Amino acid sequence: MVHRITRIMPAALLMLVVPWCPPAGGAEPAKDWRRELAEPGREFTQMPFWFWNDALDNRQLARQMAEFRSRGVYGFVVHARMGLPKEIPYMGERWLAHVRFAVEEAARTGMRVCLYDEGMYPSGSAHGEVVRSNPAFAAQGLMLSARDVTGPAEVQAQTPSRGSHVATVIARRAGRDGKLDLDGARVVESAGGSVRLAEGTWRVMSFTMVPTDGHIRGVHPGEEGGEPGAPPAKKH
C-alpha cells in the first residue's frame, strides 16, 4: 500500500530538505514508513549553507563538522562569504586545499557536501576572474534611444558612439492617439543602413548593446557593491 503525505511543509523547511534517493543495490524502502518518518536516514539530512567568512583552519573546519553531526546534520553547502581574508583568494590554492579537506573529511565521517557555484552572487563570474581574463565577457545591457521623424524622409541607422548597434526599428504613428503601428514596423539591422519613409510621423527606435559596468558582491574586505574592489560582473 502506498501512503501519501499531504501535509504542507513550511517553505523555510522545504529549502533544507534533500530529495530522497533509493539505497544502492536496488534495496526496497523500509516497510515501516512511520518509523522512517520519526527516524529518517542521513540521506534526508538538512543541507545548511556553511559560510566561510573568516580565516580558515582545517582543525576548526573539522571541529565545526563534528558539531554538525552532533546536532543530526550530515551535510552542508560550502559557501564563501564576505569576510574571507585576501590571503585566501577565492578559487586559489589555499581555498581549494580547504575545500579538499572538507570533502575528504565529509567522506570519512559519512557526510554529504554541495559545492556552491560562485563566491557570492550572481553566479557565473568566478569572483570577477572571467572578465579579468577576457573583458569581452563583461556584463552588457540593451539601451534604447528614440526620436520622431516627419516623412517623407530618409532615415539612416546611426552608428553608436558607445557599444554596438543591434537594430533600428521604425514604426508609423497612426490615429489620433499616435499609437505605433508595430505590424508594419520596419527593421534596419546594420549600422549605416537606411530606409526611405513615406509621408507621416514615424518613431525611430535604436537599440544598442552597451557595457553595464556592473559588479557582483565579492568575498573579501573592500568588495561590497559600490566599493572599488567589487569584482566585475559577467554577461549571461
| φ, ψ at 178 (rounded to 5°) | 70, 20
> CB-based contacts of 80: which residues, under 8 Å, 6+ apart?
52, 53, 90, 95, 116, 119, 120, 219
- Other CB atoms within a 10 A radius of the CB of residue 74 amount to 21
- pLDDT score recorded for residue 131: 94
Strand partners, 172: 202
Cα of 22 vs its chain's centroid, Å: 30
- Other CB atoms within a 10 A radius of the CB of residue 160 amount to 17
- pLDDT score recorded for residue 117: 84
- pLDDT score recorded for residue 34: 87
- pLDDT score recorded for residue 90: 94
In the block, residue with C-alpha cell 530538505: 17
- pLDDT score recorded for residue 56: 97
Interatomic CA distance for residues 124 and 80, integer angstroms: 14
- pLDDT score recorded for residue 7: 36
For residues 155 and 203, the answer to whether their CB atoms sit within 8 Å is: no
For the residues of 143-160, what is the DSSP string, one character each?
EEEEEEEEEEEEEEPPPP
For residues 173 and 205, the answer to whether their CB atoms sit within 8 Å is: no
Strand partners, 205: 146, 169
> Half-sphere exposure of 203 toward its Cβ, with a 13 Å CA cutoff?
16
Please list the pLDDT of the chain residue by residue as tens digits (236 residues). Answer: 333 333 333 333 333 434 444 455 555 555 688 888 888 888 899 999 999 999 999 999 999 999 999 999 999 999 999 999 999 999 999 999 999 999 999 999 999 999 988 888 888 899 999 999 999 999 999 999 999 999 999 999 988 988 999 999 999 998 888 899 999 999 999 988 999 999 999 999 999 999 999 999 999 999 998 899 999 999 87
Secondary structure string (H, E, C) spanning 29-75:
CCCCHHHHHHCCCHHHCCCCEEEECCCCCHHHHHHHHHHHHHCCCCE
**Does the CA dihedral 170-176-179-185 come out positive or negative?**
negative
- pLDDT score recorded for residue 107: 97
